[in-house]
Amino acid sequence: MLEALRRSSKSWVMKVILGALALTFVLFFGTDFGGGGGQGGGSHSGSASVVEVGDTNFTAHQVGRAFNDQIQRASNLTGRQYDTQTAIQAGLLDQAIAELVTRTLFDQAAQDFGITTSLDAASTAIRSLPQFQGPSGRFERAQFEQFLSHSGQSEAEFVNEVRLDLLRTQYIDTIRNAVTAPSPLTDTVFKRRGERRVVDLVVVPRQPGAQVGNPDETQLLGFYDENREAFETPEFRVATLASMDVETLARDVVIPEEELREEYELRGDEFFVSEQRGVSQATFLSRDDAARAAALIQGGKSFDEAAEEVSGLPPIDLGSVTRSDIPVAELADAAFGFSSGAISDPVESDLGWHLIRIGDITPGRTVPFSEVRESLRSELALDEARDLIFDVLNDVEDGLAGGASIEEVARDSNLTVTRIDGVSRHGALRLGQTEAPAALTPDVVQSLFEIEDKAFTETVESSRGGFTVVQLDDTIAPRIPTLDEVREQAIAAWQAQSISEIAEETAAKIADRVRGGADIQSLASEFGARYERTPAFDRMGDASTIPGELIAPIFEAGRGDVVDQLVSAGAAVAKVVDIEAADLTDPARDELAAALTGQIANDLVTQFSAALQDQVGVDVDREALEEAFAPR
């Protein structure tokens, strides 16, 4: 409702919990809120109640406003445009209802609890919102009224929303302020998190060049039988895609010559190229130093030699620049006040004293129409294509709705048709296919796997303004191929496993000998493995190169214990050298206490919300909502 107000609120709970509660509400009720509810069956107008929270009712129009807010928020976040049905399928309608219900529950609970908020408090909050403040930092009435006009709200409605937000914040804060994480809990968690360990670590790498040979048929068949599931193919979807993008559409857009010239004239300032000059700058500590360098130049020394002799530093070559490229006004005036090859008089700025050398000069000019004609045409064609593509999309959807095939609408609307012989849920193509076509985006793949029936089509709009019609042609079920089909893969997998087993056996030998008292560093050298004594690290492995797979067993071991295990790099052996207890005076302990307090408060408010739902009663008329938001 008022994101900026929530961001400025001191209550972090208000910023986080309402969203979490709304999600809880969605999960609690699923996609089938309540029962018939509302006004019952029959036709529902925008004034009929479709959501009831205790004695508060919401009409389809009110739900629609919240729904539109959710769609706008999702579009801004993802860069996608959602039509009504796609937004409903994505759960945005349920989320909108959930937020309405959650806020109403807390509004009613706060009022029952006797919490009030004055209009003066709401007015003060509104005046503090940055979007209503002018350059001076003061509240600007005109900006406020412009916002109201744009959002379609009256001042009274907006003030009431702010008042309810403040009331809700006070109520949530009463719960937050009553919660503190118990010290024993904080200490227990911090001791576990803050404990650090030092180990002697040996990593035995896999040796890709190890001579493991090829398995015989019996070995290979046994390996295949034990690992059949590893060779299972994913489900593939076979599809036809018909796509159009604004760039393709723009190629056929004709922009009349007179329109191009008119645009050129209207935007004349854009095509003026400022004068450019090659500029070098020498900087000195005083005017006398600058004057001495100037005298050396007049005496025959070069600009570079004089600058370095006096200042000890060579001049700076600024390259070819325009006046606006030089931020210091005095230097810009000097650079653009002399002819090519000239050296300025000493110039003072806040940075010191300077001499400026002017190099080649490229005069400013207006780029003629002939040089920008094609770029102008492309730009205007793209703008027109962005409008035209909606007409193309409407024609395509009308054709599909009228029974035309995807090939027919593609031909009539000049869409690009692409055949997909098989793609997995994660976008992998079946073997034998070339690289994925541009039309096969992650959104298209996701849509393809949401289609249940063959020959069904779905339209997916892209963030760049184009669209793709997706048709499911066939589904290829997962299967386990025969050994002959995956023989080469099975041999490679057997060899990789054999190499891992060699590393694992070597690590086991090292671990056994370390347990027997042998020196771990010497053993690492003997077996050609890498050794290090790690810095102290915690359960997250911070400040250490320790393999992640070893962390859990290391923290289960005691001082002097030895653990060995397969890791991603091969196999590893670790001997626990030292255990450092957590420092309970560390400021991080207080940070943990605050985080635990927040989690407890969140859980408490969530449970309270569920109790309010039971106590107050929530009823959502799903049938009426479906009728209200059904496509016309």
Task: Tell me the per-residue pLDDT of 534-556, one tens digit each, with 9 for 90 and over.
Answer: 999 999 887 667 888 999 999 99
CA distance 486 to 479: 12
Question: CA 435: distance to chain centroid?
Answer: 26
Residue 265 falls within a domain, yes or no? no
Identify whether residues 247 and 332 lie together within a single domain.
no
What total of structural domains would you count in the chain? 4
Identify whether residues 289 and 346 lie together within a single domain.
yes
Identify whether residues 31 and 116 lie together within a single domain.
yes
The pLDDT assigned to 603 comes to 82
Identify whether residues 115 and 200 lie together within a single domain.
no
Identify whether residues 342 and 463 lie together within a single domain.
no
Residue 155 falls within a domain, yes or no? yes
Q: What is the pLDDT of residues 47-85, one digit of tens each?
A: 678 888 888 888 888 888 888 888 888 877 776 777 787
Q: Please, what is the angle between helix 587-616 and helix 155-177, to 10°?
A: 120
The pLDDT assigned to 433 comes to 67
Identify whether residues 36 and 160 lie together within a single domain.
yes
State which residues form the domain around 377: 236-253+372-476
User: Which of 476, 507, 523 represents a domain boundary (last residue)?
Assistant: 476
pTM of this prediction? Answer: 0.50
The pLDDT assigned to 27 comes to 35
**The token pair that represents 475 in the structure block:** 């589904």
pLDDT(3) > 50: no
120: CB partners within 8 A, 6+ apart: none
Give burial (CB, 10 Å; 0-12/13-18/19+) of 503: buried
Residue 225 falls within a domain, yes or no? no
Q: Confirm if 285 and 326 have CB atoms less than 8 A apart.
A: no
Q: What is the mean pLDDT of residues 142-155?
A: 78
Number of alpha carbons in the 13 Å side-chain half-sphere of residue 415: 30
Identify whether residues 459 and 539 lie together within a single domain.
no
Q: What is the pLDDT of residues 592-623, one digit of tens each?
A: 988 888 888 878 877 877 888 888 888 888 88
Identify whether residues 377 and 457 lie together within a single domain.
yes
More confident residue, 560 or 34: 560
Residue 590 falls within a domain, yes or no? no
Identify whether residues 289 and 416 lie together within a single domain.
no
Residue 614 falls within a domain, yes or no? yes
Residue 338 falls within a domain, yes or no? yes
Q: Confirm if 22 and 99 have CB atoms less than 8 A apart.
A: yes
User: Which of 456, 476, 496 represents a domain boundary (last residue)?
Assistant: 476
Identify whether residues 33 and 171 lie together within a single domain.
yes
* CATH code, domain with 64: 1.10.4030.10
Q: What is the pLDDT of residues 169-222, one digit of tens each?
A: 777 777 777 788 899 999 999 999 999 999 999 999 887 656 678 899 999 999
Q: Confirm if 440 and 418 have CB atoms less than 8 A apart.
A: yes
Give which of 577, 592, 583, 504 is closest to 546, Cα–Cα: 577
* CATH code, domain with 463: 3.10.50
* CATH code, domain with 526: 3.10.50.40
User: Which of 419, 447, 476 represents a domain boundary (last residue)?
Assistant: 476
36-45, 94-103, 385-394: least confidently modelled range = 36-45
Residue 190 falls within a domain, yes or no? no
How much of the chain exceeds pLDDT 70, in percent?
90
Residue 39 phi/psi, 5° resolution? -95, 10
When pLDDT is cut at 50, 70 and 90, the band that residue 632 belongs to is low
Identify whether residues 292 and 376 lie together within a single domain.
no
The pLDDT assigned to 494 comes to 93
Give how far Cα 508 sits from Cα of 183, 524, 526, Å. Answer: 43, 12, 14
Residue 354 falls within a domain, yes or no? yes
**The token pair that represents 54 in the structure block:** 């205790």
Q: What is the pLDDT of residues 424-444, one digit of tens each?
A: 999 989 876 677 888 899 999
Torsion of the alpha carbons at 230, 235, 241 and 247, rounded to the nearest 10: -40
Identify whether residues 338 and 404 lie together within a single domain.
no
| Exposure class string for 199-220: b at 16+ Cβ within 10 A, else e | bbbbbbbbeeeeeeeebeeeeb
The pLDDT assigned to 156 comes to 83
